[in-house]
Structure 1
Amino acid sequence: MPLYKTITVNPTTKVFIWKIEESFETLSDGIDLTKNCSNRVVNMKSDLHRRGFMSIRHLMALEGYSDHDLYYDENGKPHLTGDKHISITHSFNFSAIIISDFEVGIDIEMQRSKILRIAHKFTPIEEYRTIANEDAMMRKLTIVWCGKESLYKSFAEKGVSFLENIYVEEFMLDDYKTTATVTYEDKTQKYNVDFLEFEGFTCAYALISEKQ
């Protein structure tokens, strides 16, 4: 099976990344979906989305969880039965989960030049105009987007703006980590954000650093 990478972040937190190479039928083998999830899969128009959905269930199984252990709250945030926390992501032919004793978030994105055109919508773009190399700028902005997406998933409050409420501290590409803050209404939450790049993709995951 194409388990692409396992990262032990700390003794209570693990990241699992899957490279989606199998057919939907192969990925469906041995996976027992709830009725609701079965209906969701049937109604997915994209075969890649269906395969991504099933690959997530295989990643969960690595830690002993099934589809029946997963549920979503009113904000669309995934939860596991029991005390563990989970976050889920899928982009093209990669999917990933992070499972922890604490609140977490994860995101994977393909590195694409499109992000240069939309960056002003999610980050103060003037902070990145000094980067002379367009490829480096694309990579850095993708990391910022992934970081903000992972924080958004962890914080899970409707109304949070990537541009106005989530700030990612400056970092170098070879740092592979940074810090970030979400400030929304009367809540402020600080996070540690780690990132990695592989095969033209970026993955970032966020863990709470201080409880405010």
Structure 2
Amino acid sequence: MPVYKTISPNSQTTVKIWKITESYDFLIQDLELKPETLKRVLGMKSELHQRGFLSVRHLLKAFGYTDADLFYDQHGKPHLKDGKQISITHSFIFSAVVISDGIVGIDIEKQREKIKVIAHKFVDYEINYLNEAANDYVQYLTKIWCVKESLYKLFATPGLSFKQHCLVIPFSSDTDDTIAWIDYKNKKHRYNVACLEFEGFTFAYAIQ
């Protein structure tokens, strides 16, 4: 399908989300892929991962870029050759790309009960306002995970811990926006964060 949703949180930032309904054969058509990119795709054991990966290249195309415009640094963080900031995510049937003049990070996750099992690995300060008995506990945990993953992607610093270094202020009852902090090596970094929920998935983006 075409782009599922486009979001413009400010004049310098655009997010595009893709719902992956197409087959692998359809998605790989009409894409100009670097040899190393094609090798990576062909080496993937899961068609779901292949489709997610290729859908990201279609999102790049929707922004006016090609695979040749994208490269990764030694930490695995994506970059664009023109200097614009980019962050990429995909989960099951959705993928997303954000491009901005400023530092950004995004994440998308399927809302699943099993997140409760790993909550202790990424929740610290947030336990003060979480309610395990609430009907939306899984959704709230997923929001927190997405926010922290977004922070991790934009900070791109080895050793950063979701639990120790990332802090998510409670979302208010009437908005899906909040503030998040990275407290790392005696320096505090503040970010504006927004979340969206659709079709059983949670999406978050963080902007410096």
TM-score normalised to the size of structure 1?
0.94
Rounded Cα–Cα distance in structure 2 between residues aligned with 1:139 and 1:26:
33
Which residue number corresponds to residue 159 of structure 1? 159
Q: 1:130 to 1:52 in 2, by over 3 A?
A: closer
State yes or no: 1:75 paired with 2:53. Answer: no
- CA positional deviation for 1:171: 1.4
- CA positional deviation for 1:83: 2.3
- CA positional deviation for 1:184: 1.4
Q: 1:33 to 1:173 in 2, by over 3 A?
A: farther
Rounded Cα–Cα distance in structure 2 between residues aligned with 1:162 and 1:194:
18
Q: 1:39 to 1:173 in 2, by over 3 A?
A: farther
SS in 2 for 1:160: coil
**CA contact under 8 A between 1:128 and 1:137: conserved in structure 2?**
no
State yes or no: 1:9 paired with 2:9. Answer: yes
The one-letter code matched in structure 1 to 2:128 is: E
Which residue number corresponds to residue 146 of structure 1? 146
Rounded Cα–Cα distance in structure 1 between residues aligned with 2:83 and 2:25:
32
Matches within 5 A, 1:1-212: 1-124=1-124, 126-130=127-131, 132-133=133-134, 135-172=135-172, 174-208=174-208
- CA positional deviation for 1:96: 0.3
Rounded Cα–Cα distance in structure 2 between residues aligned with 1:30 and 1:130:
48
- CA positional deviation for 1:163: 0.2
**CA contact under 8 A between 1:2 and 1:21: conserved in structure 2?**
no
The one-letter code matched in structure 2 to 1:73 is: D
The one-letter code matched in structure 2 to 1:56 is: V
TM-score normalised to the size of structure 2?
0.96
**CA contact under 8 A between 1:77 and 1:156: conserved in structure 2?**
yes
Of residues 25-34 and 199-208 in structure 1, the stretch that sits farther from structure 2 once superposed is 25-34
Q: How many residues align?
A: 207
**CA contact under 8 A between 2:131 and 2:137: conserved in structure 1?**
no
Q: 1:184 to 1:72 in 2, by over 3 A?
A: same
- CA positional deviation for 1:131: 5.0
**CA contact under 8 A between 1:2 and 1:20: conserved in structure 2?**
no
RMSD: 1.3
Rounded Cα–Cα distance in structure 2 between residues aligned with 1:162 and 1:93:
25
Rounded Cα–Cα distance in structure 2 between residues aligned with 1:39 and 1:173:
46
